Amino acid sequence: MGVEVIAVAGRRELSFDGFRFPLPAEIGDASALALAHHGVTAWHLLRTCAHLRQGESVVVHDAAVGVGALAVQLAVSFGAGRVVATAPTQAQRRLAVRLGADVAVDSSAPGLTERLLTGGLVDVVVGLTPIPLPAGRLPTRPLPTGPLPSGPLPSGPLPSEPLPTGPVPTGAEPTGAESTGAEPIGAELIGAELTGAELTGWQPSAGFPTHPGPVDGALALLAPFGRLVFHGEPVDVDPVRLGSRAVVGFRFADCLAKPEMVVAALSELTGLTSAGRLHPLAPARTTR
């Protein structure tokens, strides 16, 4: 998507994908270009995807560049109760605090999840970062090496008890065991019930993934009814682990089919920028 600032009849406008938006004179070209993409994305992550409410706590990843830098400022403007930023360098963390974050946490050091949890669970996480789950949440016994057990499975006939005849008794719902005379589970079929533990010698802990990813780390930070919002490529989410939490993705291109969504975002973004409450940071190339 090409974004440019153009002059039309003495007025400056943002132009992209056939869409045009008038710019206030006090907003420079580079700031306008940052608002067109990063700003609209950050705005919709908090307003449309997270439905951020007054007083809620927010974690913003990559909080000193692009979308993250604007998300920190918007969260403050929207009345967040506590904004926690993450960034890999000390300079970026200092910048995130200047932009309005209450605290900035080093995202490059081990133990990020534990440090973020010292302030308690949060309501909204903006962005994804490859952070591990807290210590003790993952199984500690290593996976065994070497081939799986060899040899044929136990053999033997299937249960031979004949099916019962006659009407089904009233007042009871027949199950597999009642209708066949035996419960046809794996134990009867092969002589033993084989689970993941028997095949690998290791039993995963319930409720947490074997190989945690960015989504799992973010979910570990969320309070019940919390929301993880992110932009970019889609991710795999196991609904079993969500509980009363939501994962919402955002793609800027989807807004272009609904110009009113772009107008709503840019109207508030340019107003906040003109008032000096929002400072777009991302460098951008101006095209005329």
pLDDT in tens, 172-200: 444 444 444 444 333 333 333 333 333 33
Q: For position 253, what pLDDT does the model report?
A: 87
pLDDT band at 23 (very low <50, low <70, confident <90, very high): very high
- Please provide the average confidence, as pLDDT, over all residues in the chain: 78
pLDDT band at 206 (very low <50, low <70, confident <90, very high): very low
Among 132, 139, 140, 138, residue whose Cα is nearest residue 221? 132
Classify residue 194: in a domain, yes or no: no
Classify residue 40: in a domain, yes or no: yes
pLDDT band at 153 (very low <50, low <70, confident <90, very high): low
Classify residue 148: in a domain, yes or no: no
pLDDT tens digits, 64-75: 999 999 999 999
Task: Provide the token pair at 35.
Answer: 């608002």
Per-residue pLDDT at 109 exceeds 70: yes
Per-residue pLDDT at 262 exceeds 70: yes
Q: Which residue has the tokens 């998300």?
A: 71
Q: Could you tell me the strand order of the sheet in which 103-106 lies?
A: 103-106, 82-87, 57-60, 122-126, 222-231, 246-250
Classify residue 171: in a domain, yes or no: no
Classify residue 155: in a domain, yes or no: no
Classify residue 44: in a domain, yes or no: yes
How many residues would you count in the chain?
Answer: 288
Top pLDDT among 241 and 172 is at 241
Classify residue 262: in a domain, yes or no: yes
- Cα separation, 116 vs 123, in Å, equals 13
Q: For position 205, what pLDDT does the model report?
A: 35
Classify residue 31: in a domain, yes or no: yes
Domain that holds residue 17: 3-137+206-274
Per-residue pLDDT at 241 exceeds 50: yes
Per-residue pLDDT at 126 exceeds 90: yes
pTM of the complete model: 0.71
The most confident of 143-147, 184-188, 263-267, by mean pLDDT: 263-267
- Please give the average per-residue pLDDT across 94-113, as a whole number: 94
Q: Angle 66-77/259-274 helices, nearest 10 degrees?
A: 70
> How many domains are there within the chain?
1
pLDDT band at 203 (very low <50, low <70, confident <90, very high): very low
Q: For position 210, what pLDDT does the model report?
A: 39
pLDDT tens digits, 217-235: 899 999 999 999 999 888 8
Contacts of 250 (CB under 8 A, 6+ apart): 41, 44, 45, 48, 49, 229, 230, 231
Indicate which CATH number applies to the domain containing 257.
3.40.50.720
